Structure 1
Amino acid sequence: MNGTKKLALGAAVLALAIGGSVAASTVSTASTASAGTREASHAAVTTTAWAKVSANGQILGGQGITGINKFGIGRYNISTSAGLDRCALLGTINTNGGSDPGPGSSSILVGQVNGNTLFIRTATPSAGGSAAVDSDRPFSITIVCA
């Protein structure tokens, strides 16, 4: 990846991380009959919702989140105010200011349950026993839609 592409990618990630919007470009592989060139179309991409959640399911900050249900060890459902179709669902484990010393590795699964509900599952793969499957971990999610 050349320097210009890295800079553009870095700017897009930064804009999304702070709740901004980014113009994304997709390229069609359909060729025009006369020129044989590719056509480009542009779509606006926006962070529609985000949340920072403690291990016990408390929302520490966010936007576009209408509720959270912690229903098991490392299992959470999060409701949003907007639909999730055509959205990217991003999640990461975090430390919430250093309050989660946890073992070395962690994982998160983010999936869509229905039109406006996410399922989050957190785990600590480097732990022994049942914690390797599910463990309460603090996490952040971002929902980016076209």
Structure 2
Amino acid sequence: MRNSTRLFMTVAASAILAGGIFTVSGAAAQEASAQRAAAGTTFWAKVAANGALLAASGIGNVNKFGQGRYNLTTSADITRCALTGTINTNGGNDPGPGSSSILVGAVGPRTLFVRTATPSAPHPRTVDDDRPFSLHIAC
């Protein structure tokens, strides 16, 4: 093989290798940057029992799809975030301890599921119950 051909192949192989390393490094840098951007982010919402979004930051939509069942859409990925929810009083009417519950879980990178309930509700009410609630999401 001639020296000029060998030199060309060496340079081409180096360029491909450098390009591959650069691409992987660029993707890794973008992912790290996105994770850093999410760090320290706080989302919150105050939601009425009927699913109306009363006030929020970083949460743009509430979909009430059943008795005591809501999906909320966030403005960023919440996969690595801590989720906290609480039942609110209904216009100052405190139902008392042990008479309400809330479940908050991520069902997708930008979607939360919330289930509210009144476990101590008398028959014929179901356990799942429309309740006003607040959420706090810390990343």
In structure 1, the residue corresponding to 2:40 is in which secondary structure?
strand
In structure 2, the residue corresponding to 1:67 is in which secondary structure?
strand
Q: Displacement, 1:128?
A: 2.3
**Counterpart Cα distance in 2 of 1:77 and 1:87:** 17
Greater fraction of residues in helix: 2
One-letter identity of the residue aligned with 1:125: P
Identity score, percent: 62
Long gaps (5+) in structure 1: 1-43
One-letter identity of the residue aligned with 1:46: G
In the alignment of these two chains, the number of paired residues is: 101
Which of 95, 103, 114 lines up with 1:120 in the alignment?
Answer: 114
Greater fraction of residues in strand: 1
Other-structure match for 2:48:
54
Q: Report the CA distance shift for 1:130/1:76 in structure 2 as closer, same or farther (over 3 A).
A: farther
Long gaps (5+) in structure 2: 1-37
2:79 touches 2:108 (CA, 8 Å); kept in 1?
Answer: no
One-letter identity of the residue aligned with 2:134: S
Larger radius of gyration, structure 1 or 2? Answer: 2
Which gives a bigger RCO, structure 1 or 2 (Cα 8 Å, sep 6+)?
A: 2
**Counterpart Cα distance in 2 of 1:130 and 1:107:** 18
With structure 2 as the length reference, what TM-score do the two structures score? 0.65
Deviations 1:36-74 (A, max 9, x none): xxxxxxxx9634210000000011111001211000000
Which of 71, 75, 100 lines up with 1:106 in the alignment?
Answer: 100
Q: How large is the RMSD of aligned CA atoms in angstroms?
A: 2.1
Other-structure match for 1:33:
none
Deviations 1:12-51 (A, max 9, x none): xxxxxxxxxxxxxxxxxxxxxxxxxxxxxxxx96342100
Q: Displacement, 1:97?
A: 4.0
Other-structure match for 1:66:
60
